[in-house]
Structure 1
Amino acid sequence: MEEKKLDINSIIGFLLIGAILLYMLWQNQPTPEELAAQEEAKQEQLASEAANQADAEMTITDNSSSNQLPTDSLGLASLKNKIGDFAYALTLPSATSNITTFENEVLALKIDNKGGFISEVRLKSYVNHDSVPVYLIKDGSSVFNLNFATSDNRTLNSTNLYFQPTLSTSGENQVLSMRLKVSETQFLEYRYELKPNDYMLGFSVKSQGLSNVLNTSQDVKLDWKFKAHRQDQSVSFENRYTRLTYQHEGDKINKLSQSGDDDETESDLAWLSFRQHFFSTILVPETPFKTADLKSFDLVKDETIDTLYTKRYEVQLPLTYSGGELAHNMNIYYGPTYDDILSKYDRNLEASIPFGWGIFGWINKAVFSPLYAWLTNYLSYGIAIIVMTIMVKIVLSFVQYKQFLSQAKMRILKPELDAIREKHKNNKMKAQQETMAVQNKAGASPLSGCLPGMLQMPVFYALFMFFPIAFELRQKSFLWVDDLSSYDSILELPYNIPFYGDHISLFPILASIAIFFYMKMTTGQQMATQPTQEGMPDMGKMMKYMIYLSPVIMLVFFNNYASGLSLYYFISNLISIGIMIVIKNYIIDEEKVLAKIQVSKAKPKKQNRFQKKMADIMAQAEAQKEAQQKRKK
């Protein structure tokens, strides 16, 4: 095989060709003037191309992205493949995230073209604990979406599409129409109507000419996600009264969990309330939703950490077609959780306020709420609490009198009852029979002291529920208190004490001191009436522990509670102590009580049905015991 070698002549030839090419390039290079002219021509060409592109294309800017979607003939065809006939809406000037402002004397609303729903709600008359305007919706805290199917097998979400706004008036009312258009005569519409000085916003979802565009065999899903803004000073206190509440199946009122996460599926939903303690967002359909999926998520995982939101709510509701079109009339309430305002709409919306269940709620709605509202017409809000407390204690003073009278009788009978127990210390059944006989003749019974106390419980619990939800107390000052609906801090702590908090409230301290002396007096009275028997020293010790334990519980539990409630307990216990002293020293004369007992004993006493039945049972038990003892012998 012949060996291939590089020819020297070839090398010389390549070098010569390269040299010639370099010379030609150098010889033909442009002058500096030519370079400047070329650069100027290039810039003019780029500017011309940009202008032509701006004239030929319309762009839509998404809030969540900087990408732009061209809607020229090719781009629109591409979008139509994605969203079908609704691509027409992207060719309109409204196809951008512009805001429409919609307001009256009490509400300021903002509605975004993208999604067509409310992006901000401000209550004009209120501020939060930091003196910042109260926003029920702000910064994406609410997402309202319609998920619907089209006749060409697409599934679309209204939040991704652009509505065209039109403002008009209807009498004194303002009307805002937001239309998602397929053509100028075919559209899906959100219609908002706002009356003067009203918290209730008219809202409807309707379609026109879409029977052939939408898949009417499938319900439209209304999907609303809502985060509750923090408004109060105490996160833990506010979160306790922030709940999703709803009316369903006629007149049933229910609610999701106060703490933690919860979900329910309900039927025949008349309204649902996103309650934020003193403020609420309530969806009120003209006709009940046939089903509803409801969810609530607690966002406050650590109450010692400052937070922006307390709970997140999620609801899914079906919107059905009628005659091939959507036609659903609703209302949305944005305003105070205040009985006087909610009740005027005549939809039982005031039931969303946690007045308490059963008789407790009835007492609050029928007695304390109107009574306190009446008092505040003439008195400051703190003085009104004191006056209402005095009125309640005067009405219940006969109960305390009955309790003290019963205790006085039992205290007078104690030596005689102790003698009976000592006589029959080996026969407890016999001792009990004779004890009941003496008490019956004397007209004294432990139950007669317990029953009056039980009558106070509904009032006690009703007021416990009333003050934390009394909207009248919100941001009302009294003495050193800035807000009677929140805690009255007199000292901020540099650390957080578990269960207590990072501050010291004064009214809970005063209430704890008052309840300590009240319990010391009442416990002493009760122990004086207890019979002397085995086991009673331990009972007495437990009662003494309660004297100290109850004020401590009061102090810790109420440190973050509404100061109006602590004020009530402080005044209530002071009045109770005063009533006890008056009854004991000036009303009940134990010598007269003893004389009445002696007279009562001398009279033949007929047993009532209950007493007779108890005596018969005890007699039978005693007979059985004697029979058993005889058989053993």
Structure 2
Amino acid sequence: MDKKSIVTIVVLALVFAGFYYVLNQDQKRYQQEVAAYQAYQDSIRQTLEPEVAEDPTVAGSTDRTDSTARAQRLERRVSAVGALLAEAENAQAEEFTVENDVMKVLFSTRGGQIKGVTLKDYDRYASESPVELFDPASAEFALTFYLRNGLHSADINTSEYVFRAEPVRTLADGTHSVVMRLPVGEGAWLEYEYLIHNERTPQRDYLVDFNVRMVNMAPVMADQSSIGIEWSNVSYQNERGFKNENMYTTVAYRFPGASSIEELGMSEESKSESVDEPVDWVAFKQQFFSSVFIAPQQLAHADLAFATERPGSGYVKQFAARMAVPYTAQTPGYDFAFYFGPNKYSILRKVEVGGERLSLERLIPLGWGIFGWINRWCVIPVFDFLRNYIGSFGVIILILAVLIRLVISPMTYKSYVSMAKMRLIKPQVDELNKKYPRQEDAMKRQQATMELYKKAGINPMGGCIPMLIQMPILIAVFRFLPASIELRGQSFLWSHDLSSYDSIFDLPFSIPFYGDHVSLFALLMCLSTFAYSYYNYQQTASSQPQMAGMKFMMLYMMPLMLLFWFNDYASGLCFYYLVSNLLTIGQTLVIRRMVDDSKIQAIMDANAAKKSKGKKSKFQQRYEELLRQQEAQQQARRKK
């Protein structure tokens, strides 16, 4: 053979030798993987098999049948979701707690989720145990998605699998980092990172950052446009009155950029709602505390629901939310957050995620429109200012009532003067009634009466308008005090908790619409309402005969209705209305002593003289023309 042939043979031999070597190594690696997989299946099978009794006669064919069935179920799960997830599904879960200055958070590796939150600074009513936001046994949080499995896809719910938790790390700024991972494939895993801060600023420390990372998961993910989120729990009863707490407990959410929030309402039974528009956050809101899942501009859809628990069970409501976030193969993960804390205005208004204010303060029901404006810009600043210098919240409520009465005192004065004018002009009105006694002359009588009012400078609505103007303030306070967590647990006089009802006597039975207790603040408030209504009626009945028909409603029915309504309400609110009524009565008595009827009469006479010389206004001319047209129409109808 020549030299070229020898070289060719040698090269071919080396190629075949290399190929054989690589093939042999691949075969060995494959056998090792098979052996490891078999060992893994054997270990899982052993964990599923019941322990065999020492006496061989005890373990019979039933145990072997159960063992075989469990092994078959295991093989089916391995075939469905893969070895790694099958292992995570059957692993032993662990629980551990991480805390900062304001709360303690319970984690579970089952689902890698938060199972419970305890607030250190707040106690449950009549108990030294701290407030727990929800029952750990009912808490569920999970991501749902699909993994590729050959020609099929596997439906994954993370609450069914045990994550691998890394040791908790404390960062340089005091933040606790909790990392848990769920392997979903070779070199691919789902990672949860929780950050619990300890900055000693409530708006930051009640906020838990929740970062989800999808490491190398794109190759194993099935085709899908979204990832589901399932969140549910059952809230404890943390306040004294179940009825009142249940009324404020609901599910709330916010649309991106909105200054207001939406709620499912205050149904006493159950309610559900489907939201097909994007939302920024979803809250499981209780009377004074909330659990909020925050995902700014990420939640594309939400199905929300709640159901009311039985009174006396120790729970208030079952919450459930099914949400979805967009997903593509390029999605690296998501930056979520939780807020677990009090519904305190000064804290919620400062909560931000990613530099964006979330309007969480809207969880506090301060009222809509002008009522909310009055609370946010008037009542709350004054309340917070007084809190800095006065330790008793009962005294603060008293001062708040005094300040509000002083603000609306000019309207009270005008209302009294208007009623005094109506009283003084009553004899002249009676003369007009005698002059036009027939029903056919009603239009003339009305026209003459309005002319008389005009000359005397009387506005028939003068006594009502001031009352209408001050109504927004009264309603704003009505919304603010029961929702103010600052009153929670604060005692005053015989009330142990100004945020709940006071009881001087517990009835052995329950009265429909009233309850099973007697609230003294509510009772005194209703008696003061009766006293003010009686005094006001005495002043107006003589000048306004139509008031006689409203006597029963004003004097008796209204105070009685308030007694039934407010018996379960916050004692702080009843105390405020009690003080406000007493101040109004006192204010009216002072104004009556200050105002001289003779001076009012002189002013009315001067106005009448001035009006008689003056030219009629265009409004008065149009009004008189309208009355003449109506009278002509009535006469035409009578002729027919």
Shorter chain as denominator, the TM-score bin is 0.7 to 0.9
Q: Which residue number corresponds to residue 320 of structure 1?
A: 326
Identity of aligned residues (%): 34
Change (3 A) 1:577 1:70: farther
Larger mean CA deviation between 350-359 and 197-206 belongs to: 197-206
Residue by residue over 1:82-131, the C-alpha shift from the partner in whole angstroms, topping out at 9 and shown as x without a partner, is 32254365399xx2121121211111111111111111111111111131
Question: Is 1:130 matched up with 2:122?
Answer: no
Question: Is 1:180 matched up with 2:182?
Answer: yes
1:555 is displaced (CA, Å) by 1.7
Change (3 A) 1:358 1:103: same
Q: Which residue number corresponds to residue 247 of structure 2?
A: 240
Residue by residue over 1:412-446, the C-alpha shift from the partner in whole angstroms, topping out at 9 and shown as x without a partner, is 11110111122112200001111000101101122
Q: Distance in 1 between matches of 2:224 and 2:374?
A: 49
Larger mean CA deviation between 211-220 and 511-520 belongs to: 211-220
Change (3 A) 1:623 1:240: same
Residue by residue over 1:203-247, the C-alpha shift from the partner in whole angstroms, topping out at 9 and shown as x without a partner, is 122211111222142422111122221110000011111111111
Quick check: 2:146–2:224 contact (8 Å CA) kept in 1?
A: no
Quick check: 2:224–2:328 contact (8 Å CA) kept in 1?
A: no
Q: Distance in 1 between matches of 2:177 and 2:360?
A: 24
Q: Which amino acid aligns with 1:276?
A: Q
Q: Distance in 1 between matches of 2:615 and 2:186?
A: 91
Q: Distance in 2 between matches of 1:210 and 1:574?
A: 70
Q: Distance in 2 between matches of 1:391 and 1:609?
A: 41
SS in structure 2 at match of 1:406: helix
Q: Which residue number corresponds to residue 61 of structure 2?
A: none
Q: Which residue number corresponds to residue 156 of structure 1?
A: 156
Q: Which residue number corresponds to residue 35 of structure 2?
A: none
Q: Which amino acid aligns with 1:189?
A: E
Q: Distance in 2 between matches of 1:265 and 1:612?
A: 57
Q: Which residue number corresponds to residue 393 of structure 2?
A: 381
Q: Distance in 1 between matches of 2:115 and 2:69?
A: 26
Q: Which residue number corresponds to residue 30 of structure 1?
A: none
Q: Which residue number corresponds to residue 415 of structure 2?
A: 403
| Structural mapping, 1:549-588, within 5 Å | 549-585=557-593, 587-588=594-595
Q: Which residue number corresponds to residue 307 of structure 2?
A: 297
Q: Which residue number corresponds to residue 264 of structure 1?
A: 273
Larger mean CA deviation between 546-555 and 366-375 belongs to: 546-555
Q: Distance in 2 between matches of 1:314 and 1:417?
A: 65
Change (3 A) 1:423 1:227: same
Q: Which residue number corresponds to residue 331 of structure 1?
A: 337
Q: Which residue number corresponds to residue 108 of structure 1?
A: 104
1:56 is displaced (CA, Å) by 8.7
Q: Which residue number corresponds to residue 286 of structure 2?
A: 276
Q: 1:523 aligns with which of 537, 553, 556?
A: 537
Q: Which residue number corresponds to residue 41 of structure 1?
A: none
SS in structure 1 at match of 2:273: strand
Q: Which residue number corresponds to residue 79 of structure 1?
A: 77
1:263 is displaced (CA, Å) by 2.2
Q: Which residue number corresponds to residue 350 of structure 2?
A: 344
Q: Which residue number corresponds to residue 147 of structure 1?
A: 144
Q: Which amino acid aligns with 1:297?
A: A
Q: Which residue number corresponds to residue 475 of structure 2?
A: 461
Question: Is 1:285 matched up with 2:292?
Answer: no
Q: Which residue number corresponds to residue 446 of structure 2?
A: 432
Quick check: 1:229–1:310 contact (8 Å CA) kept in 2?
A: yes
Q: Distance in 1 between matches of 2:526 and 2:72?
A: 77
Change (3 A) 1:521 1:607: farther
Residue by residue over 1:369-410, the C-alpha shift from the partner in whole angstroms, topping out at 9 and shown as x without a partner, is 121111111111110000010000011111111111000101
Q: Distance in 2 between matches of 1:243 and 1:610?
A: 51
Q: Distance in 1 between matches of 2:221 and 2:272?
A: 30
Q: Which amino acid aligns with 1:79?
A: R
Question: Is 1:225 matched up with 2:217?
Answer: no
Quick check: 2:117–2:134 contact (8 Å CA) kept in 1?
A: yes
Q: Which amino acid aligns with 1:151?
A: R
Q: Distance in 1 between matches of 2:187 and 2:620?
A: 83
Q: Which residue number corresponds to residue 12 of structure 1?
A: none
Q: Distance in 1 between matches of 2:381 and 2:48?
A: 55
CA-atom RMSD, angstroms?
Answer: 2.5
1:528 is displaced (CA, Å) by 1.7
Q: Which residue number corresponds to residue 392 of structure 1?
A: 404
Q: Distance in 1 between matches of 2:615 and 2:497?
A: 58
Q: Which residue number corresponds to residue 15 of structure 2?
A: none
Q: Distance in 2 between matches of 1:265 and 1:188?
A: 28
Change (3 A) 1:414 1:98: same
Q: Which amino acid aligns with 1:351?
A: R
Quick check: 2:89–2:162 contact (8 Å CA) kept in 1?
A: no
Q: Which residue number corresponds to residue 9 of structure 1?
A: none
Quick check: 1:119–1:139 contact (8 Å CA) kept in 2?
A: yes
Q: Which residue number corresponds to residue 115 of structure 2?
A: 119
Instruction: Give unmatched runs, 5+ long, in structure 1.
Output: 1-52, 62-67
Q: 1:203 aligns with which of 181, 199, 210?
A: 210
Q: Which residue number corresponds to residue 354 of structure 2?
A: none
Question: Is 1:365 matched up with 2:376?
Answer: yes
Instruction: Give unmatched runs, 5+ long, in structure 2.
Output: 1-40, 50-65, 352-356
Quick check: 1:85–1:213 contact (8 Å CA) kept in 2?
A: no
Quick check: 1:58–1:72 contact (8 Å CA) kept in 2?
A: no
Change (3 A) 1:57 1:316: closer
Q: Distance in 2 between matches of 1:70 and 1:456?
A: 78
Q: Which residue number corresponds to residue 508 of structure 1?
A: 522
Change (3 A) 1:610 1:181: farther
Q: Which amino acid aligns with 1:191?
A: E
Larger mean CA deviation between 131-140 and 595-604 belongs to: 131-140
